[in-house]
Chain A
Amino acid sequence: MGDNAVTKRVSRLSGRRQKQIKLVLFLLPFMAMVTIFSYIPLFGWSYAFVDYSPGLQLWECEFVGLKYFERIFTNSADFIKVMRNTLAISSLNICCSVLPAIFAIAISQVKYKRFAKVVQTCTSIPNFISWVLVYSIVFMLLSSENSALNNILMGLGLISSPVNPLTDVDHAWAVQVSINVWKTLGYNAIIYLSAITSIDQELYQAADVDGANNWQKILHVTIPGLLSTFFVLLLLAISNMLSNGFDQFWLLGTGMTWDKLEVFDTYVYRMGIRNMEYSLATAMGIFKSVVSILLLSFANFASKRLRGNSIF
Chain B
Amino acid sequence: MESKKRLTVPGAINILILLLFTFLCLYPMWYIFINSWSSPAAVNRGVYFIPLEFTTEAYTNLGQIPGLTSSIFISFARTISGTILTVLCSSFTAYLLADKFLPAKKFLYRFFIVTMYVNAGFIPYYLTISAIGLRNNFLVYILPAAVQAYFIILIKTYIESIPGEMVESAEMDGAGIFRIYAQIIMPLSKPILACIVVFTAVNQWNTWSDDMFFMQGRNAGNLHCLQYLLYQNLQSNVVTSVGAGAAAGAAMKVSSMTLRMAMSFVTIFPILCVYPFMQRYFTKGIMLGAVKG
Contacts and interface: CB of A to CB of B under 8 A. Distances in A.
Interface in A107-130: 107, 109-112, 115, 118-119, 121-126, 128-130
B236 to A, nearest CB: 12
B25 A130 contact: no
A52 to B, nearest CB: 9
A288 B92 CA distance: 33
A304 interface: no
Given A33-B146, A34-B112, A122-B25, A44 B89 contact: no
A151 interface: yes
A281 B122 contact: yes
A250 B191 CA distance: 36
B110 to A, nearest CB: 11
B17 to A, nearest CB: 7
A23 B18 CA distance: 52
B177 A41 contact: no
Contact of B122 (A112, A144, A285): A285
Contacts of B261: 140
Contact of B101 (A23, A126, A152): A23
Contacts of A281: 122-123
Contacts of B92: 26, 30
A126 B25 contact: yes
B125 A140 contact: no
B55 interface: no
A14 interface: no
A246 interface: yes
Contacts of B177: 19, 22-23, 26
A289 B119 contact: yes
A269 B149 CA distance: 25
Contact of A312 (B115, B125, B292): B292
Contacts of B43: 146
A190 B25 contact: no
Interface string B9-32: 011001101110110111011011
A293 B120 CA distance: 11
A111 B12 CA distance: 11
A166 to B, nearest CB: 11
A33 B29 contact: no
A41 B93 contact: no
A186 interface: yes
B209 interface: yes
| Size class of the B contact interface (CB-based, 8 Å) | 35 or more
Contacts of B117: 293, 296, 312
B278 to A, nearest CB: 9
Contact of A137 (B28, B48, B292): B28
Interface in A259-309: 265, 268-269, 272-273, 278, 281-282, 284-286, 288-289, 292-293, 296
Contacts of B96: 23, 26-27, 30
A214 B264 CA distance: 44
Interface stretch (B64-72, B161-169, B241-249, B279-287): B279-287
A106 B122 contact: no
Given A33-B89, A34-B115, A272 B25 contact: no
Contacts of A11: none
B234 A136 contact: yes
Contacts of B260: 136, 140
B208 A128 contact: no
A59 interface: no
A292 B230 contact: no
A265 B122 contact: yes
A191 B234 contact: no
B290 A191 contact: yes
Nearest to B276: A121
A263 B274 CA distance: 34
Interface in A186-243: 186-187, 190-191, 194, 214
Given A128-B275, A132-B267, A140-B32, A272 B126 contact: yes
B22 A128 contact: no
B154 interface: no
Nearest to B114: A38
A69 interface: no
B271 interface: yes
B170 interface: no
Contact of A38 (B29, B118, B271): B118
A190 B289 CA distance: 12
A247 B102 CA distance: 40
Nearest to A191: B286
B99 interface: yes
Contact of A40 (B128, B149, B268, B289): B128
A260 to B, nearest CB: 20
The 6 closest A-B pairs by CB, nearest first: A285-B121, A44-B124, A41-B120, A130-B206, A38-B115, A41-B124
Interface of A: 16, 19-20, 22-24, 26-27, 30-31, 33-34, 36-45, 47, 103, 106-107, 109-112, 115, 118-119, 121-126, 128-133, 135-137, 139-141, 144, 146, 148, 151-152, 155, 182, 185-187, 190-191, 194, 214, 246-247, 250-251, 265, 268-269, 272-273, 278, 281-282, 284-286, 288-289, 292-293, 296, 310-312
6 contacts: A27-B102, A112-B5, A148-B46, A182-B25, A285-B122, A289-B119
